[in-house]
């Protein structure tokens, strides 16, 4: 059977689930698929392209769902999008790190950021919706990466036995709500256009 990009992403996800990002190499992936490493490059340009494909696969269900749903209270919808993205990232080891790398390598924002921007755009002007989506994305990726790093340390036996995890759904939601409260406060929504500064327009 001919090798496909989808099969390669499936095999990459299997390696990630079992061993994490540190064990995902093109050589290891080829071995898992029973092919020569060169065969992979007909379907993925390099490891960066592979990580982007994995990131797309991880977040695709959330992006697809929220690209179709636009009703309801905008802030509540945005909140749920972030919570759904967190669950998607937590579904695979090093999920946040993979998506962070893909985000850094992409010239344009990932589809997940676009979905957040569109939801915020129902309450904010275009620029603030863009900035707000970025702020939520940074919080999401940072918080989940920290949580997943802690899980890896625990798995490796480097966290003292009996130590309670500082990470919880409630703590994460508190951060999301704090950001959304700031973004959608009347003072921010009515604020005049900010003066040009060092940040990209």
Q: Give the whole-angstrom CA distance, residue 26 versus residue 20.
A: 14
Q: 0.75 cut: is pTM over it?
A: yes
Instruction: Decide: 177 and 75 in contact? Cβ < 8 Å.
Output: no
Mean pLDDT of the region 154-171? 90
| The pLDDT value given to residue 8 | 96
Interval 116-162: pLDDT, tens: 999 999 989 999 999 999 999 999 999 999 999 999 999 889 999 88
Q: Which domains does the chain have, with CATH numbers?
A: 1-44 (1.10.10.60), 48-189 (1.10.357.10)
Q: What is the pLDDT of residue 185?
A: 80
């Amino acid at each position: 059977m001919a090798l496909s990009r989808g099969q390669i992403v499936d095999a990459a996800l299997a390696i990630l689930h079992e061993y994490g990002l540190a064990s995902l190499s093109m050589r290891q992936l080829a071995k898992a698929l029973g092919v020569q490493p060169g065969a992979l490059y007909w379907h993925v340009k390099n490891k960066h392209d592979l990580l982007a494909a994995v990131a797309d696969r991880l977040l695709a269900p959330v992006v697809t769902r929220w690209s179709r749903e636009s009703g309801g209270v905008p802030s509540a919808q945005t909140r749920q999008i972030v919570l759904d993205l967190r669950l998607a990232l937590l579904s695979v080891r090093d999920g946040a790190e993979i998506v962070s790398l893909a985000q850094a390598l992409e010239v344009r924002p990932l589809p997940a950021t676009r979905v957040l921007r569109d939801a915020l755009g129902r309450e904010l002007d275009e620029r603030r919706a863009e900035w707000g989506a970025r702020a939520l994305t940074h919080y999401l990726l940072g918080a989940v990466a920290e949580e997943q790093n802690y899980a890896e340390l625990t798995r490796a036996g480097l966290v003292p036995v009996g130590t309670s995890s500082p990470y919880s759904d409630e703590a994460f939601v508190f951060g999301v709500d704090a950001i959304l409260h700031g973004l959608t406060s009347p003072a921010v929504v009515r604020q005049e256009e900010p003066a040009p500064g060092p940040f990209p327009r």
